[in-house]
Amino acid sequence: MNIPFNRPFLTGKEAHYMYQAVYTGKLSGNGSFTKRCQNFFEKQYGFKKALLTTSCTDALEMCAILSDVHPGDEVIVPSYTFVSSALAFVRQGAKIVFADSMASNPNIDPEKLESLITPKTKVIVPVHYAGVACNMDRIMEIANRHNILVVEDAAQAIDSYYKDRPLGSIGHMSAFSFHETKNIISGEGGLLAINDERFIRRSEIIWEKGTNRSEFFRGEVNKYGWVDTGSSFLPSEVIAAFLWAQLENMEMIQNQRKAIWNKYYNGLSDLEKREIIKLPDVPAYATNNAHMFYIICRSLEERTALIKFLKDNGILSVFHYLSLHLSDYYTSHYNDIPNLPQCDRYANCLVRLPMYYELKNEEVQYIIDNINLFFS
Catalytic residue list? 182
Look up residue 82 and give its DSSP letter: -
**Whole-angstrom Cα distance, residue 147 to residue 150?**
10
- Closest residue by Cα to residue 196 from 176, 162, 173: 173
* CB-based burial label for 246 (10 Å; 0-12, 13-18, 19+): buried
Q: Is the separation of the CB atoms in 69 and 63 below 8 Å?
A: no
Encode burial over 261-271: b for 16+ CB neighbours within 10 A, e otherwise. Answer: bebbbebbeeb
> 179: helix, coil or strand?
strand
- Residues contacting residue 295 through CB under 8 Å, at least 6 positions apart: 268, 271, 277, 278, 279, 350, 351, 353, 371
Q: 173-177 and 350-353: which strand pairing?
A: unpaired
